[in-house]
Chains A and B, each alone.
Chain A
């Protein structure tokens, strides 16, 4: 059976799945809107969580949160399931598809056959939608791909039970029902408030604006502490988190700016439009940061381009974001 489902590409997988599932149920929520309502913007520097011996940086909250928050704030009831038994997880999927409901799945990308090989690391927080089954092939709408894809039973089961950090354990989710009317305005305000809180007030110096300042301070010492090669690896990992498929550029700052622009219209609040512009400028600074870091990685940096210079950009970004989120908080009082 095939469900009449419209594949649409998005910048980030979880927002994309959220948006296309909502749209399938007749609720017109764009990717940027889902991202903003679900408070997708974040910053965390986790020196004790290491990936391949290198500290992790995250520009997003934990996997699954964006969907959960968006659904909750729009007062939509959803179903989330995890499984121990692989076969049972596939039966549950078939049964839900049989009822004509497209299903969101969390998967690992390492065994994801249609994914470009250079992106197939052991990364488990990818999301996609299954919208049907034809001749033993599951029909897949993967939000980062331009076209719909397909997977066999075994291939799909394998990616649903990928192992390692953030194991999906067959995690599937779908909308139980869609209310006829949703209150987008209040959801937007709740989403913005949560993002402001996350970025400004977490009392641990590794999160939000404080986290950006922290990594900025540490970064200027990387070459002397770690040596040129490891310092470059730390930098490479940071850029990958910031720019890799899924962020829409500049660690989600551009998507967030797009959200603020939509929110300005929805709430009829001109202040949000101005803050959207400030956020765009801030995103451009993140891009400048990545561009300079990229030249350092490739050993093509000029005299002025060094770790202290990168650190200075980050510190400036922290100041900008501190100002933006403080004003944003007041704009939606």
Chain B
């Protein structure tokens, strides 16, 4: 990659917090370090990954409204936790977490357990208990600042 080929395709994915350091060759063929604001193909791959997450969040949201899954399932999808990861963070057995994905089981949960889940998933206990609101569902890939 030559110095003049270093891409500056800013899709605001780094939120203006930083730029990325790249290595490129100058006109004398020497390697120099230069900052890049982003690159189209890699932005596309990152946006694709998020769209995948959001698709799952939307599907889970519909399931929660239809009474098929508990709000816990929704916030897990939103924060990208699977049962194994949530179990690791909370020390709650996987088997129990699976049962709490069921709306009836979830309703009977005590406040202590709810607190543990809420902390791990970065929501308030009320937010978790009352279930997702439409505003919790991202309607497109979030691009801060746009």
Q: Give A contacts to B, CB under 8 Å.
A: 9-11, 32, 52, 114-119, 121-122, 144-147, 163-164, 167, 232-233, 235-237, 239-240, 243-245, 248-250, 254-255, 257-258, 261, 276-277, 280, 283-284, 287, 290-291, 293-295, 297-298
- Asked whether B104 is an interface residue with its Cβ less than 8 Å from the other chain, the reply is no
> How many residues of chain B get a CB closer than 8 Å to chain A's CBs?
38
A236→B25 contact, CB < 8 A: no
Query: Which residue of chain A is the closest to B24 with respect to CB atoms?
Result: A254
Could you say which of B23, B30, B40 contacts A11, with CB atoms under 8 Å apart? B23
Q: CB distance B17 to A114 under 8 Å?
A: yes
Instruction: Tell me whether B1 and A254 are in contact (CB under 8 A).
Output: yes
* Cα distance A293–B39 in the bound complex, in angstroms: 13
Rounded to whole Å, the gap between the CB of B100 and the closest CB of chain A is: 18
Per-position binary interface string of chain B over residues 43-81, scored 1 when its CB falls under 8 Å from any chain A CB and 0 otherwise: 011101110100000000000000000000000000011
Query: In the complex, A80 Cα to B21 Cα: how many Å?
Result: 28
Taking a contact as CB atoms under 8 Å apart, the answer to whether A116 and B15 are in contact is yes
Identify the closest chain B residue to A260 (Cβ): B31
A121 touches B80 (CB 8 A): yes
> Which A residue sits closest to B50, measured CB to CB?
A118
Which B residues are within 8 Å of any A CB, using their own CB?
Answer: 1, 13-15, 17-25, 29-31, 33, 35-36, 39-42, 44-46, 48-50, 52, 80-81, 85, 88-89, 142-144
Docked-complex contact B80 and A122, CB < 8 angstroms: yes
User: In the complex, are the beta carbons of A122 and B41 less than 8 A apart?
Assistant: no
Report chain B residues within 8 Å CB of A32. 23, 31
Complex contact B15–A236 (CB within 8 A): no
Known: A145-B18, A248-B21, A255-B23. 9 other contacts (CB 8 A): A9-B21, A144-B20, A163-B89, A236-B45, A239-B45, A245-B20, A248-B22, A249-B1, A261-B31
From known contacts A233-B48, A290-B42, infer whether A116 and B13 are also in contact, taking CB-CB under 8 Å.
yes
Asked whether B14 lies within 8 Å of A239 as measured between CB atoms, the reply is no
| Least Cβ–Cβ distance between B53 and chain A, in angstroms | 9
The residues of A that contact B49 with a CB separation of less than 8 Å are: 121, 236-237, 240
Complexed CA–CA distance, A203 and B52 (Å): 36
A261 to B26, CA, bound (A): 13
Query: Residues of A contacting B19 with CB < 8 Å?
Result: 146
**Bound complex: CA of A283 vs CA of B5, how far in Å?**
13
Task: Tell me which of A114, A118, A243 contacts B13 (CB under 8 A).
Answer: A118
Q: Is A258's CB under 8 angstroms from B31's CB?
A: yes
B residues near A164, Cβ cutoff 8 Å = 85, 88
A197 to chain B, nearest CB (A): 24
Q: Tell whether, in the assembled complex, residue B17 and residue A163 are in contact, meaning their CB atoms are under 8 Å apart.
A: no
Contacts of B35 in A (CB 8 A): 146
CB pair B42–A239 under 8 Å, yes or no, is yes
A248 surroundings in chain B (CB, below 8 A): 21-23
Which residues of chain A are near B22, meaning CB under 8 Å?
Answer: 11, 248-249, 254
User: A116 touching B14 by the CB < 8 A rule?
Assistant: yes
A236 CB contacts on chain B under 8 angstroms: 44-45, 48-49
- Which chain B positions have C-beta within 8 A of A250? 1
Q: Complex formed: what's the CA distance from A298 to B23 in Å?
A: 27
Measured CA separation A32–B21 after assembly (Å): 12
15 contacts between A and B (CB under 8 A): A118-B46, A118-B50, A119-B46, A122-B81, A146-B35, A163-B89, A235-B45, A245-B20, A249-B1, A249-B24, A249-B36, A258-B23, A258-B31, A280-B1, A297-B44
Looking at A114, A232, A239, the one whose CB has the most chain B CB atoms below 10 A away is A239
Q: In this complex, which of A243, A248, A249, A294 has the most chain B Cβ atoms within 10 angstroms of its Cβ?
A: A249
A116-B45 contact in complex given A249-B1, A250-B1, A277-B29, C-beta closer than 8 Å: no
- Closest Cβ of chain A: how far from B20's Cβ, in Å? 6
* Chain A residues positioned under 8 Å from B52 (CB to CB): 52, 233
Q: Evaluate whether A239 and B15 lie within 8 angstroms (CB atoms) in the complex, with A249-B1, A261-B30 already known.
A: no
Residue on B with the closest CB to A52?
A: B52
Chain B residues closer than 8 Å to A121, beta-carbon distance: 49, 80
Nearest 6 pairs of A and B residues by beta carbon: A294-B41, A163-B88, A258-B31, A243-B42, A254-B23, A239-B45
- Bound form: Cα–Cα A251–B54 in Å: 27
> Is there contact, CB below 8 Å, between B80 and A243?
no
Residues of B within 8 A of A146 (CB): 18-19, 35
User: In the complex the two chains form, is B1's CB within 8 Å of A283's CB?
Assistant: yes
- Interfacial chain B residues near A52, Cβ < 8 Å: 52
